[in-house]
Amino acid sequence: MPLTAAELAAPEIAAQRQRFVRLMSEVSGTTALRCAEQLAGMLPGSGAQAKGEATPRTAVGLPVLVDWLQKWIIDAALATAGAPVIFHPAHTGRLGELGRRADLAALCRCHDSFAEARVLSRHPLNPRLFLEDLLLRYLSATGQ
């Protein structure tokens, strides 16, 4: 999908991806709802434009966020298994911390549920609640 790759490589979207990685590196049980709100602010038509968080050029779709979540959880599972991470090598330390307290089977189940959620991400009733649910699944799988 070269057009999708080129679109995601745009500097504006790359900045959103870095923001996503920072949020995932810092998310915890006490910050999950705030994190979901900030992720929802990356979505098109989120109302975040008024706050300066996302513009039509920097907004990413919910399926893209779910893809990013899946890649993060894959790297967490790899770190748990003691294998090198694939998608986020710059965050090996943080993923290693997750790996020390996470259960590999729980991470695999979380990834499977994210794969199912990816289908639903095209038509969620409430994107923010959808993201909150995904983050709570992630926190449960990582033992946070």
CATH number of 25's domain: 1.20.272
| pLDDT 10s digits, 102-116 | 889 999 999 999 888
Which positions ≥6 away from 80 have C-beta within 8 Å? 98, 99, 100, 102, 103, 104, 107
Q: List Cα–Cα distances, 49 to 21, 68, 88, 98, in angstroms.
A: 21, 22, 28, 33
User: pTM to 2 decimals?
Assistant: 0.81
Per the CB < 8 A criterion, the answer to whether 53 and 15 are in contact is no
pLDDT value at 29 more than 80: no
What pLDDT was estimated at residue 9?
66
- If one counts the domains in the chain, the total is 1
Q: Provide the domain limits for residue 75.
A: 2-141
In this prediction, residue 48 has a pLDDT band, given cuts at 50, 70 and 90, of: very low
pLDDT value at 43 more than 90: no
| pLDDT 10s digits, 86-98 | 999 989 988 888 8
